[in-house]
């Protein structure tokens, strides 16, 4: 893997007016579970490069198109609310005076303190050959737990039963995964900020807090009334912590519908964000309420990650 900066001309041509989406900033860019965490070293290189070549805006200013002509205009966001956003990303954002928005869930107010995606990513490391979850039997085939019609647990959560109740069933069937994620060497990749850390992060002049849903459910796969309830619960929870209006949402897994967008706007989310691609390219591209993002993952060089 080569480690070089993108050509400025290429970035300006391909990456103008881009919202970047990070997840975690860890010590070494680990791929043990997934590719969601960028190393501190690579993140700092990216900030230095973007400061030198781009106009970096707050998310609100980006939506309001306060752009500079002749330079790439970018905004930086983080999804999920990992603790390493507070311990690793915040000091670098403040060092280089770069604004960012951090989208946080309401998982702290539940009995479970891990995101379902991290939990499922770690399931394949268990030794169980078969498990019953609800009315579905999953067998471990080539390291992946799959039901009788070939659907993985990950697929089933995203596309069939996206509600939090089903996720709790999964958590209860793999108690050893909780212990595994709590190991010192794994906590940096899975631990979320607690309420006090969210408050402290929100007090940085370079960080705005936004919603990432309450349960991290795919809002296009649950009932609209339940999605609306989750939107309201998330907004109330975060506003109760940070004492300012929460008007931005990064949809969990980039999942939404036109009806969800309307409900989010009514709740007060004026600025809405997709993930890597729009759900409906034809209508979303002309919808001023929502914008797409470019995901940053540690499966390539720090420079190539910035090239669209």
d(CA 77, CA 290): 14
* Integer Cα distance of 101 and 79 in angstroms: 9
Same domain for 224 and 151: no
- Residue 144 in any domain: the answer is yes
In a domain, 112, yes or no: no
Integer Cα distance of 39 and 30 in angstroms: 8
Which of 125, 149, 181 marks a domain boundary? 181
Q: In the chain, which ranges are E strands? A: 18-22, 24-26, 37-39, 55-56, 73-78, 100-104, 130-133, 136-141, 144-146, 207-211, 248-250, 271-273, 290-291, 294-295
> Do 28 and 50 fall within a single domain?
yes
pLDDT at residue number 2: 39
Residue 55 lies in a domain: yes
CA distance 303 to 201: 27
- Per-residue pLDDT 10s for the chain (308 aa) are 335 556 454 454 555 799 999 999 999 988 877 889 999 999 999 999 999 999 999 999 999 999 999 999 999 999 999 999 999 999 999 999 999 999 999 999 998 889 999 999 998 888 888 999 988 899 999 889 999 999 999 999 999 999 999 999 999 999 889 888 988 889 999 999 999 999 999 999 999 999 999 999 999 999 999 999 999 999 999 999 999 999 999 999 999 999 999 999 999 999 999 998 888 878 898 999 999 999 999 877 777 777 65
| Residues 141, 98 within the same domain | no
- We report the CATH number of the domain holding residue 287 as 3.20.20.370
Residue at 3 is within a domain: no
Same domain for 33 and 152? no
Does 129 reside within a domain? yes
Domain containing residue 240: 8-105+192-306
Q: Are residues 137 and 270 in the same domain?
A: no
CB 104 within 8 A of CB 210: yes
Q: What is the pLDDT of residue 277?
A: 87
Give the pLDDT confidence score for residue 224 in this predicted structure.
Answer: 98
The domain boundary, picked from 131, 158, 181, lies at 181
Q: Is residue 100, in this structure, part of any structural domain at all?
A: yes
3-state secondary structure of 300: coil
Per-residue pLDDT at 9: 46
What is the per-residue pLDDT for 280?
A: 84
Task: Indicate whether 81 and 136 sit together in one domain.
Answer: no
- Residue 156 sits in the same domain as residue 246: no
Same domain, 207 and 251: yes
Same-domain status, 12 and 66: yes
Q: Does residue 2 fall inside a structural domain? A: no
pLDDT at position 10:
46
Nearest Cα neighbor of 84 from 122, 27, 138, 130 is 27
Same domain, 40 and 177: no
Residues 89 and 23 in one domain: yes
Closest C-alpha to 216, from 202, 229, 230 = 230
- Residues 291 and 296: their CA atoms lie apart, in Å, by 16
Query: 152: helix, coil or strand?
Result: strand
Q: Which two tokens mark 13?
A: 């041509």
User: Is position 1 within any domain?
Assistant: no
Whether residue 123 is found in the same domain as residue 88: no
For the chain, the domain total comes to 2
Domain boundary (181, 205, 226) is at 181
Q: Which SS3 state, helix, strand or coil, does residue 160 take? A: coil
């Amino acid at each position: 893997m080569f480690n070089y900066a993108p050509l400025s001309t290429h970035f300006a041509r391909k990456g103008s007016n881009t919202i970047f989406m990070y997840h975690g900033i860890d010590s070494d860019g680990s791929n043990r579970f997934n590719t969601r965490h960028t190393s501190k070293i690579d993140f700092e290189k990216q900030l230095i490069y973007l400061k030198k070549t781009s106009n970096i805006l707050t998310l609100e200013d980006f939506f309001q198109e306060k752009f500079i002509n002749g330079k790439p205009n970018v905004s930086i966001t983080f999804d999920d609310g990992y603790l390493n956003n507070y311990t690793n990303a915040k000091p670098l954002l403040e060092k280089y005076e770069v604004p960012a928005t951090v989208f946080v869930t309401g998982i702290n107010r539940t009995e479970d303190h891990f995101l379902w995606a991290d939990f499922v990513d770690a399931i394949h490391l268990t030794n169980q050959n078969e498990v019953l979850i609800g009315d579905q039997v999953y067998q471990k085939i080539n390291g992946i737990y799959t039901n009788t019609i070939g659907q993985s647990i990950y697929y089933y959560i995203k596309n069939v039963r996206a509600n939090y109740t089903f996720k709790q069933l999964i958590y209860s069937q793999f108690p050893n995964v909780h212990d595994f994620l709590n190991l010192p060497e794994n906590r940096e990749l899975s631990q979320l900020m607690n309420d006090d850390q969210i408050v402290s992060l929100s007090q940085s002049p370079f960080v705005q807090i936004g919603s990432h849903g309450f349960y991290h459910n795919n809002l296009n796969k649950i009932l609209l009334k339940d999605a609306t309830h989750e939107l309201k619960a998330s907004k109330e929870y975060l506003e109760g912590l940070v004492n300012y209006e929460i008007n931005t949402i990064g949809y969990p897994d980039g999942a939404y519908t036109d009806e969800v967008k309307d409900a989010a706007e009514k709740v007060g989310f004026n600025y809405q964000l997709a993930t890597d691609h729009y759900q409906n390219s034809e209508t979303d591209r002309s919808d001023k309420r929502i914008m797409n993002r470019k995901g940053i993952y540690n499966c390539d060089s720090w420079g190539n990650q910035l090239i669209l």
